[in-house]
Structure 1
Amino acid sequence: MKGYQIRNGEQRDQEWLYDLYCKTMKPCIEATWGWDESFQRKGFCENLNPTKWKIISAGHKELGGFVLNQNDDHFWLEMIIIKPEYQRKGIGRRVIEYLQDTAGKKSLPLKLSVIKANPVKPFYQKLGFKQFDEDDAFYKLEWNS
């Protein structure tokens, strides 16, 4: 990604990532299910180990991160979080385009889910994602090359 660096997450990133998760996701989670700090911390640590993350930076500034899983028939974007002060500056778009390029090179769709309380669905739709399913809490979106 031109202008940005991506590195593998490390154990030392755990607290930084969890703090960023809280800053970015707490309002949506709270609006959907309520926020239980011990439940959220436990779930984050068990399911989003820092070594699964790719950390996005520019120079010496860490801007956010994402977790991308490759399955046999698709890529799944587990999560993307960008520091609030760097949101709406094109970083998320650049990351998604990078992930679309990654998926496109393997001829696989890129899928993700969005909590309904999170207003980012139009952002993904502008980038070519289509809704393929939904449940009470989530929209499920998919991009195909």
Structure 2
Amino acid sequence: MDISLRKATESDMDFLFELRDLTMRKYLEQVGMPTSRENYEARIRYQFDCAEIIEYSGEPIGLIKAAYCSETNMWKLIQIQVHPDYQGKQIGRRVIQNLLDLAKDSKASVQLSVIKTNPAQKLYSKLGFIRINELEQEFIMICKP
């Protein structure tokens, strides 16, 4: 499968709004989190400098945002979303595993938050993430080297 990453740009905004709605609306609504266009935009623009578009054969199919903090030697997996048409094809797993491999090289941990109703928790657990905290609507998970 020809998967690649490229830096997200302003021209990706329409795709990113659609992707967020398709992949997150149900889970956001289940826990009472907002789904307005303004909220979507705030989340999309949050650390946009770290945003990379996941492409399959040159077509955008997802998003990953990850940021490294040298003070804590930790990667924060801010967002990962794969278009529903491409879910279940190991794409998210491969992209996250690449981040875990990068982190392992520097003995860094990787942390993420996941909405409590999001079934992606199962994937994260299989990849070695464990829950370290529980917030009202989310779990905080970490994978240590």
TM-score using structure 1 length? 0.90
Per-residue CA deviations over 1:106-133 (Å, capped at 9, x if unaligned) read 2110000100021221111111111111
For residue 63 of structure 1, the aligned residue among 56, 61, 64 is: 61
Per-residue CA deviations over 1:40-98 (Å, capped at 9, x if unaligned) read 2342354253x431111121222211100111211000000000010011001101100
Asked whether the 8 Å contact 2:28–2:35 carries over to 1, the reply is no
Asked whether the 8 Å contact 2:131–2:141 carries over to 1, the reply is yes
**Aligned residue type for 1:129:** F
* Matched residue, 1:6: 5
Are the structure 2 counterparts of residues 144 and 9 from structure 1 closer, same or farther at C-alpha, using a change threshold of 3 Å? same
* Matched residue, 1:80: 80
* Matched residue, 1:144: 144
- Structure 1: how far apart are the matches of 2:77 and 2:95? 11
- Structure 1: how far apart are the matches of 2:58 and 2:80? 20
Are the structure 2 counterparts of residues 56 and 37 from structure 1 closer, same or farther at C-alpha, using a change threshold of 3 Å? same
Give the drift of 1:23.
Answer: 0.8
Asked whether the 8 Å contact 2:3–2:56 carries over to 1, the reply is yes
**Aligned residue type for 2:135:** D
* Matched residue, 2:30: 31
Q: Would you say 1:112 and 2:117 are equivalent positions?
A: no
Number of matched residues? Answer: 143
* Matched residue, 2:50: 52
Unaligned runs of 5+ in 1: none
Structure 1 outlier segments of 4+, above 4 Å: none
TM-score using structure 2 length? 0.90
Q: How much identity, in percent, do the aligned residues show?
A: 27
Task: State the superposition RMSD in angstroms.
Answer: 1.7
1:136 partner SS: coil
- Structure 2: how far apart are the matches of 1:57 and 1:129? 25
Give the drift of 1:5.
Answer: 1.2
- Structure 2: how far apart are the matches of 1:68 and 1:61? 21
